[in-house]
Amino acid sequence: MLTQLTTVKARLEISVSTYDDLLNRAIDAVSARFDRECNRTLARGVGVTQEFPGTDAEVIACCYPIEAVSKFELKTTEAEGWIEQTSVDYMLRNACIISLILPLSFVPQAVVRQLGRVTYTGGYVMPGTTPSAGQTALPADLEWAAVEQVAAWLQNWTTARKKRKHFYAKILGNSQKARSFHKWALSAGL
């Protein structure tokens, strides 16, 4: 999660636990939305696998900043499966692009389709956890953006809830008046 419940509650000045479950779900939803909008996974992952065409020499990581690359594999058929490629020379650029010195496959994709796969560790350490050496904490501006999104959502939700209650009370009040008028009309013989 991009932020913690305590941070959101402090922003909203809430001290009761009435909305904790709702806020936790909102934090999860906002975190997932940030991942979709950024087209990447922000949370740190260990053993993240990512597939790419075997003839590609560059892989744009979906979970960065990259801390370490552990292995490369190549697959030609399902029966053969993934075959680990050893002694692969690569370079990390801007902690988010894996540049292979040579592609894993030299066979043109038109002849045989080969799929490459890289396994790595990358992403941001989420709030509430202290980053170890070589790890990167989630930037504060991303956390505060998530906090503000959750706060805005909750404020809109409570406003809409109040409007619904007022609307239903108005309908109920009108229907009671209509029933009273109907009873009066029947008793008056109208």
pLDDT tens readout for residues 49-81: 999 999 999 999 999 999 999 999 999 999 999
Which among 88, 143, 97, 145 has a CA at the least distance from the CA of 122? Answer: 97
Q: What is the mean pLDDT of residues 121-130?
A: 97
Pairing of strands 97-100, 58-60: antiparallel
Count of residues in the chain = 190
Average pLDDT along the chain: 88
Q: Record the pTM.
A: 0.78
Q: How high is the pLDDT of residue 171?
A: 57
Helices (H) and strands (E) in the chain, counts: 3, 9
Asked if residue 177 has pLDDT above 70, the reply is no
The DSSP bridge partners found for residue 90 are: 100
Residue 167 burial (CB count, 10 A): 10
C-alpha closest to that of 126 among 104, 113, 142: 142
pLDDT score, position 184: 61
Lowest mean pLDDT among 26-30, 94-98, 141-145, 184-188: 184-188
